[in-house]
């Protein structure tokens, strides 16, 4: 007899923010490959998001797209309420959408600081607030925040970005405690240096120096992060909440 397959997500409804490319795209495709219906969220990359939807459907999966700016609280609330109404519920939220703006502290602009916090922190928390309204009713759910290794280690030139990623740890741990009695788990994925558009502007020298700081000796792939996302979203992770799952090649242990 064949062993039952693990980490299946058949029948689950998942929203992945910022799924038009990079880590979000990989998470969306991986969740769909396990049977979830995935809402591929984007802000401006409509063609890219439609491409993700088509790729999922071509492999026999279920997907649809949805656009809103996570930095716009009203638009975020309205869109997620609409999704919950249409599908009847939301089982999984991967709050992945994020931006990075790097620079030394002395040159940090107030507007950039605000944009980073509105997008990376307030955006993720507002998504969680809207999504958990449905999860409270169904008494089950998975919330996954996407933080970063620099939120735990800090990094010169990334004060504001690192602060937003550190903030997600406090938020996730608090929401985990608040909603544990409803069987809603809330965890953090903390990627290290992953090859995506966000990291593509690095020079070869910067990249080389960074890889030297990775004990496993390579940059991470979006698939490395997506595998951890599937685990946290699965029924098999039902006793795991308030945790930080680090996918960083040993950069921070
Ligand atoms: P990416 O390739 O730059 O993709 C970012 C995604 O977020 C896009 O889908 C983008 O949508 C969406 N997005 C950005 N701002 C948005 C907004 N205001 N409202 C809605 N969607 C928005 O980034 P990535 O490298 O995959 O990173 C994904 C997450 O992982 C981020 O939270 C990042 O901080 C974190 N992370 C990345 C790394 C890394 O090495 N790459 C390491 C640690 C953590 P549009 O394209 O439609 O605008």
Q: With a 6 A CB cut-off, is 191 part of the ligand 1 pocket?
A: yes
Q: Is 161 a catalytic residue?
A: yes
**What pLDDT score was predicted for residue 14?**
99
CB-based burial of residue 109 (10 Å sphere; 0-12 exposed, 13-18 middle, 19+ buried)?
Answer: exposed
pLDDT 10s digits, 202-230: 889 989 998 999 999 999 999 999 999 99
Residue of 15, 16, 17, 18 best suited for mutating to test ligand 1, as the one with most atoms within 8 Å of CB: 18
C-alpha pair distances (Å), 231 with each of 185, 234, 242: 12, 5, 14
Which percentage of the chain shows pLDDT scores above 70?
99
What CA dihedral angle connects 227, 230, 234 and 239, to 10 degrees? Answer: 60
Closest atom of ligand 1 to 45 CA is 47
Q: Which of 161, 179, 239, 252 is catalytic?
A: 161
pLDDT at position 201 is 86
Question: What 3-state class would DSSP assign to 185?
Answer: strand
- CA distances from residue 205 to 159, 209, 217 in whole angstroms, order as listed: 22, 6, 15
Contacts of 246 (CB under 8 A, 6+ apart): 149, 152, 190, 192, 252, 253
Give the residue from 215, 206, 125, 217 showing the smallest Cα distance to 164.
125
Ligand 1 in reach of 118 Cβ (< 6 A): no
Q: Tell me: the pLDDT tens digits for 82-139?
A: 999 999 999 999 999 999 999 999 999 999 999 999 999 999 999 999 999 999 999 9
């Amino acid at each position: 007899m064949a062993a039952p397959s693990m980490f299946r997500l058949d029948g689950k409804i998942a929203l992945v923010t910022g799924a038009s490319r990079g880590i979000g795209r990989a998470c969306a495709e991986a969740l769909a490959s396990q049977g979830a219906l995935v809402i591929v969220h984007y802000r401006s990359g409509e063609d890219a998001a439609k491409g993700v939807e088509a790729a999922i459907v071509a492999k026999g999966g279920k997907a649809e797209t949805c656009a809103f700016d996570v930095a716009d609280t009203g638009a975020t609330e309205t869109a997620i309420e609409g999704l919950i109404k249409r599908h009847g519920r939301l089982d999984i939220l991967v709050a992945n959408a994020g931006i990075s703006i790097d620079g030394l502290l002395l040159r940090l602009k107030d507007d950039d600081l605000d944009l980073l916090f509105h997008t990376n922190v307030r955006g993720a928390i507002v998504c969680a607030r809207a999504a958990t309204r449905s999860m409270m009713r169904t008494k089950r759910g998975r919330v996954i925040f996407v933080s970063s290794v620099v939120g735990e280690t800090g990094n010169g030139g990334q004060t504001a970005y690192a602060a937003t990623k550190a903030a997600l740890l406090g938020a996730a741990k608090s929401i985990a405690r608040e909603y544990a009695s409803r069987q809603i788990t809330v965890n953090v994925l903390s990627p290290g240096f992953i090859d995506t558009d966000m990291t593509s502007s690095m020079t070869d020298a910067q990249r080389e120096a960074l890889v030297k700081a990775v004990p496993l000796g390579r940059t991470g792939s979006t698939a490395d992060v997506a595998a951890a996302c599937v685990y946290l979203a699965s029924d098999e992770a039902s006793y795991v909440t308030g945790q930080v799952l680090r996918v960083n090649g040993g950069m921070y242990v």
